[in-house]
């Protein structure tokens, strides 16, 4: 099953690449650590949803129907960039009068926030009692519809 979407410069739902995306590590037959890293153009809420979507997708790909999140983390990396300041002076002399004009460019500071999220999930074939679980099919359907993510049929 392949999922892809492009929304401007924001991180798309994709395997981790230069601009971010999802990754996972299988820790046991039914246990996965799922992560999604975004760039500076995606919201923390969307990153959390994409992490949940990848959790549901992995559950279904591995023959399970339900998953429980046993640990979740989110993080926002904040950084700034200040463009270089340049000065350009032009002038002229008319008789004994000197006129000069200095133009300043740059020096703006830009702020970037890069959200990331991770879930440790346990997958189940049947819905367990006394444990809060998500229906992988339900989560998958709703998040792909919410963000209009196109996917191949499973």
Residue 128 DSSP one-character state: P
Q: Which pLDDT tens digit goes with each residue over 9-43? A: 888 999 998 889 999 999 999 999 999 999 999 99
Q: What percent of the chain has pLDDT over 70?
A: 93
Domains of the chain (ranges; CATH) run: 3-77+114-151 (3.30.70)
The radius of gyration of the chain from alpha carbons, rounded to an integer in Å, stands at: 24
What's the pLDDT at 8? 54
pLDDT of residue 151: 72
Give the largest CA-CA distance in the chain: 94
Q: Would you say 46 and 38 are in contact if contact means Cβ atoms under 8 Å apart?
A: yes
Pairwise CA distance, residues 120 & 98, whole Å: 71
Label residue 94 by pLDDT band (50, 70, 90). confident
How far out from the chain centre does Cα 101 lie? Answer: 45
- Count of positions (residues) in the chain: 154
Rounded to 5°, angle at Cα 143 from 137 and 148: 120
Contact 68, 122 (CB under 8 A): yes
pLDDT digit string, tens, across residues 125-148? 999 999 999 999 999 999 999 999
Q: What interhelical angle do 44-61 and 136-146 show, nearest 10?
A: 140
């Amino acid at each position: 099953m392949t999922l892809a979407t492009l929304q401007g410069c924001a991180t798309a739902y994709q395997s981790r690449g230069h601009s971010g995306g999802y990754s996972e590590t299988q820790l046991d037959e039914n246990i996965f650590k799922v992560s999604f890293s975004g760039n500076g153009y995606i919201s923390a809420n969307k990153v959390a949803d994409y992490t949940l979507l990848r959790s549901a997708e992995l559950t279904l790909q591995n023959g399970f129907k339900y998953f429980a999140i046993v640990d979740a983390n989110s993080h926002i990396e904040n950084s700034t960039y200040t463009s270089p300041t340049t000065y350009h002076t032009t002038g002229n002399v008319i008789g004994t009068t000197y006129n000069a004009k200095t133009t300043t460019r740059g020096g703006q500071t830009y702020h970037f926030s890069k959200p990331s999220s991770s879930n440790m999930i346990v997958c189940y074939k049947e819905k367990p009692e006394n444990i809060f679980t998500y229906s992988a099919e339900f989560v998958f359907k709703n998040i792909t519809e919410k963000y209009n993510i196109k996917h191949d049929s499973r």
